[in-house]
Each structure stands twice: as structure tokens, then as C-alpha cells.
Structure 1
Amino acid sequence: MKIRIQRNSVRFRLSKTDVEQLGTIGYVKEATAFGTSHFYYAVKQDPASETLSAEFANGMITVFVPATFTKDWAANNVVGIDANVPLDEQESLYLLVEKDFKCLDNVAEDQSDNYENPSKTC
């Protein structure tokens, strides 16, 4: 799982294994070590919700995805789900959870667990 944060936008990209785990176990979590501290990020099923939501607590970002979405996600062609979550009258938080596709250019990272890219060019 990868995370990209820019201002009030948080984007999660999930590998095939991540998407399958989210659909079966209901939870995917990663950590990045900063010396003795860790930054955690997770995606979790939410059976009571119809839209994305998120929380930040104890050094961890958790994005909650409707369980109805994750149920068949691994087997279908839906790329992802997104939402603008209001924070107050002026600001919102954009959330995106999507399948991670293989890059079309030369990349040094292991992409063997990523989805085939439906595009043939960048």
C-alpha cells in the first residue's frame, strides 16, 4: 500500500494483495519508521457507512471504506472510490482509495503485485 498526501488530499494506492485482504479480513495497515517513532496508515472496512471517511489519531491515518464497496472489489474492474469530506464551512478533505497499477515507464520498485495498467501510454 502506498500513500500520497498533498495539502487536504490523501490518496491510498492498494496492491492486489491489499485489495484482497481488505475484502476478506477488512483491514490493511502499513508503517513507516522514523527512528523510535512510527507513522501508521490504514484502510478499514466500515459496514455502517456508504461513503469514505477518515480519522487521524495516535500517529495513524485510517480511511474507512464502505464494506459494500470492498466486498467484490478484487474481482471487478472498478478502479477506486473517492469523497470530499467536509471539515468545516470552508475546508474539506479529499480522500481517494484506488487500485495500484503498474507504471508504464521504467521504475526500480517491485510492481509484481500491482494491477495491469489499462493504458498503453502515459
Structure 2
Amino acid sequence: MKIRIKGNSLRYRLTKSEVSTLAEQGIIQEKTDFPANTLTYAIKASTWAELTADFKQSTITLHVPQNILKQWADTDQVSIESNMLLPDGSTFYLLLEKDFKCIDVDADEDQSDFFENPHLAC
């Protein structure tokens, strides 16, 4: 699982096995250890109507509606996105997507669990 944070945007990318685990178990998470603390990032299936996120106790959690998650996991749908409204009226962009094999292959990264890149199917 990869995360990318830039300003008020958060993007998660998942491999095939991570998508399967999330669909079957309803949760997936990883941790990054720092000298004084640990950052946890997770995705959880929810009963909420929209894609939302929160940050509590050093954990970033993306909450995905169960029905939307199932459709995404079981189809060729690439991503789920939403603009979450913040208390000050601004928005926080959320994106959950399947991780594709790179066109420019990085020899240091094992891409065997990535989704086939539709641009390589020419």
C-alpha cells in the first residue's frame, strides 16, 4: 500500500492482493516507524455514504463505503474519489486507486502483484 499526501489531498494505491484483503477483511493497514513515533495508515470498510478520512492517534484512516468498495474490488473500476468537506468550508480530496505496473519498469521494484497497465495492452 502506498500513500501520497500533498496539501489537502490524500491518495492511496493498492496492489491486487491488498485490494483482495481489503474486500475480504474490511480493513488493511501499514505502519512507518520513526524514532519517536509510528505513523499508521489504514483503509476501512464503512457503513457511511461517502468516502471520508480522519487522522487520530497517529493514524490516517480512509473510510470506504462497503457497497462502493465491493463494486470497486470486483470490477475493472480503477479508482474511487471524493471531495470531503472540511469544517472551514474547504475540501479535502480523497483518492483510492489500484496500482498498475509501470510503463517505465523500475528494476528495483517487484511489480508482480500490480494490476496490468491498460496502456501496455496495445
Query: Normalised by the size of structure 1, how large is the TM-score?
Result: 0.91
Asked whether 1:9 is paired with 2:9, we answer: yes
Deviations 1:56-85 (A, max 9, x none): 000010000010022243331011100000
Query: Normalised by the size of structure 2, how large is the TM-score?
Result: 0.91
Match of 1:52 in 2: 51
1:37, CA displacement in angstroms?
1.7
Aligned AA (2:98): K
4+ runs deviating over 3 angstroms: none
Asked whether 1:62 is paired with 2:58, we answer: no
1:109, CA displacement in angstroms?
1.3
Structure holding more helix per residue = 2
SS in 2 for 1:119: helix
Q: How does 1:1-122 map to 2 (within 5 A)?
A: 1-46=1-46, 48-107=47-106, 108-120=108-120
Looking at structure 2, the residues matched to 43 and 90 of structure 1 have their Cα atoms a distance apart, in angstroms, of 25
Root mean square deviation of aligned Cα: 1.5
Please list every run of 5 or more consecutive structure 1 residues that lacks an aligned counterpart in the other structure. Answer: none
Please list every run of 5 or more consecutive structure 2 residues that lacks an aligned counterpart in the other structure. Answer: none
The percentage of counterpart residues that share the same residue type is 43
Indicate conservation of the 8 Å contact 1:30/1:40, yes or no. Answer: yes
Deviations 1:67-114 (A, max 9, x none): 002224333101110000011344111000111111110212111111
Looking at structure 2, the residues matched to 85 and 74 of structure 1 have their Cα atoms a distance apart, in angstroms, of 22
Aligned pair count? 120
Deviations 1:39-70 (A, max 9, x none): 11000000x22210111000010000010022
